Chain A
Amino acid sequence: AQKITQTQPGMFVQEKEAVTLDCTYDTSDQSYGLFWYKQPSSGEMIFLIYQGSYDEQNATEGRYSLNFQKARKSANLVISASQLGDSAMYFCAMREGHSARQLTFGSGTQLTVLP
């Protein structure tokens, strides 16, 4: 079974609008971390935001916020006031448990911001 599911292969958003990128996850661990990364066409992976399974507040980092719904096992990324530079591939990832060794990534969402 997929541990991280991103159901939107591609998304379009108008500049200055907000956009939500979906991510659902599957784990039986109580302790886990959820991450979002941005990958521009140049190929590097840029860390955006982190949410821990025990965090009661939704994480926020500037224009990025994470809509964490634990019961639904979803961790959607919200980008407010989209900019042309936000056009990129976005990956949701999870790290499980206290002996976690790696991040498991979803298949990604290609976001295109339209002028």
Chain B
Amino acid sequence: EADIYQTPRYLVIGTGKKITLECSQTMGHDKMYWYQQDPGMELHLIHYSYGVNSTEKGDLSSESTVSRIRTEHFPLTLESARPSHTSQYLCASSIPGLAGDAYTGELFFGEGSRLTVL
């Protein structure tokens, strides 16, 4: 059972509001990720982190920002939410790969945060 938590699960807000989606994991994983997923569609990576003070943008351009001040915490912030930001946001962390091979470690996901911007 993975110990990765996201809050809030559901959020409905008005345009222009600042929001922060929280993500915490208690497994001590160095690698953490944020994916964006529209209903019934594939996941797209928007941010990732290899460890404390390390953050990079993913393949899908996003107006959100992230920070990684502590290993267990990887929050995502939208300074001014717009209807185009309506989506599900999934946080994940990754175990180290077998024998140091980065490609072998699966991702553990949180339950997701469903954001609706009116």
Contact = CB atoms under 8 A, between A and B. Distances in A.
B102 interface: yes
Given A42-B111, A45-B92, A47-B108, A97 B102 contact: yes
Interface stretch (B15-23, B37-45, B74-82): B37-45
Range for the number of chain B residues in contact with chain A? 20 to 34
A24 B12 CA distance: 37
A107 B42 CA distance: 4
B117 interface: no
Interface residues of A, number: 29
B85 interface: no
Nearest to A34: B103
A98 interface: yes
Contacts, number: 71
Contacts of A45: 43, 90, 92, 107, 109, 112
A33 to B, nearest CB: 4
A52 B44 CA distance: 22
Interface of B: 31, 33, 40-45, 48, 50, 56, 58-59, 88, 90, 92, 101-104, 106-112, 114
Given A35-B106, A96-B103, A106-B42, 12 more contacts: A42-B111, A44-B111, A45-B90, A47-B109, A50-B106, A91-B42, A91-B43, A97-B103, A101-B31, A102-B33, A103-B107, A107-B41
